Structure 1
Amino acid sequence: MTKRPKTYTEKQVTKLVEKGKRGRYYVSQNLYLLVKDKGIASWFLRRQFKNKRIEKKIGNYASNNIYFLDYVDAIELATKHQRTFDLGLNPFEQQHALVNTLDELVSCYLNSQSGRYIKEQEIYAREIQPLLGNKLLTEITRNDLETVLKAMVDADRKSIALRAMYFFRTLFNYASTHKLVIENVSAHLKPHLHAANDGELRDVVLSESEIEKVFNIFQQFPEQAPLRNQIAIALYLMFGCRKSELLKAK
């Protein structure tokens, strides 16, 4: 008989992800967690189906995040998929059939990517979801997207509008590629027209007290801001050079 792999509990999984201990960890029947780095992990389901071995990512790991899957959510989703397999159907071939609203598109897209899109999630939850989250993809128009972006621009949040615009384009490109929409309603969006971004450089001057405050915070969080990063930032401030120029300097 094949020896069953060690099963990892929720607490053990949390510690593995926090430490970034790379590896593949068995959680429940046919369900594995692949840890790539600190705080970065993905859920995978393995299954034999019609004499073929299927291995598919079912989501990214995170706790307290409505778009990603925690330990309990992953087990529940894996169980649903396995019931579908038992009925003689492949749930991964039907996955996109369940995407109807913008909320569902965002969730599906984020769980299909390796990137975390933390800032985009914040912007979506605060600026976009209350207006368009529950709206059917088939009912979302170009004007809907323009209205959301214009509200940000009018509130003098142009950088947020620009990021939201690019996120719209990413989402609807994905939806168009997977045939979830008939028309890509974001294809016409342009930075200078819809996010008031004219490409001009901003005139921002940091005071000495602001710089001192930033470096004090860096020193309080050495894991997030290691010494080499602090040195690099200090060099940027002294020489006023670009990142690429500093990296190429002898």
Structure 2
Amino acid sequence: MTKQFEETPDSVIEKSGISRVIPCREIELSDPIKWLSLGVQDFRAAPMLSIFYGLLFALIPWTITYLVAMTGWHIVIMPALVCFMLLGPFLAAGLYDVSWELEKGHSPSIWHSLKALKRNAVNEWAFGLMLMLIMIFWLRVASLLHALYPAYLDPSLSNILPFLLVGTGVGALFTGLVFLLTAFTQPILMERQVDLATAVLTSINAVWLNKVPMLVWSAIIFTSVAIGFVTGFIGFIVLMPLIGYASWHAYIDCIETKRQRNYI
């Protein structure tokens, strides 16, 4: 069970030691499994909407792969990924709206979920731009590491192992940073009229307070994405809505609210 705060939200914010942050709760190690279970319930309650958003998430990597295969222009990967980083948060907001509507006992609809995309549009776009800048910097670092690999070396395991280890380490650092910054940022922006800095700082605080359970949750997300790629992106049709719904329940569990939530 999550640990509830007794103080009012304002007093907890003042005592948190971090300015401009919404207070959070400590969660249990098993909670990520509970989030997945609730995500499955939401998927079953809105199967058509779930498939609709799942197809959108699958269509993007399908389109990127198709363009590269048809044109041979690997340069299209960069702008395509930029577009995905900008549009991804809006697609996720639609999934969160479905779970939120189910929580309130309403019947979710495509139109209502699409309207959720403009609820905090300025900060949503700012969030997308932040993700895009991080991604561009990540790609630049990866290109630099590739450029440092001596062209004259044979591509044997012993020769490329140091570069693989360095690349894996850098990738892990970037992945951890992105997860820290974004784990709860999107649902906060969608439900609350707060600025991007408040949402990001709240996400950092919540993840840092719940390091071990959030490590389990990040492993579940990574495994789901890996399955999606292994299945030629078909797995995204089911897995991305499931992860989206579960992320909403993670947000409800982790971030303190002014009133009791009645869904879990």
TM over 0.5: no
TM-score calculated relative to the size of structure 2: 0.23
Structure (1/2) with the larger strand percentage: 1
TM-score calculated relative to the size of structure 1: 0.24
Taking CA–CA contacts closer than 8 Å with sequence separation of 6 or more, which of the two structures ends up with the larger relative contact order? 2
Bigger radius of gyration: 1
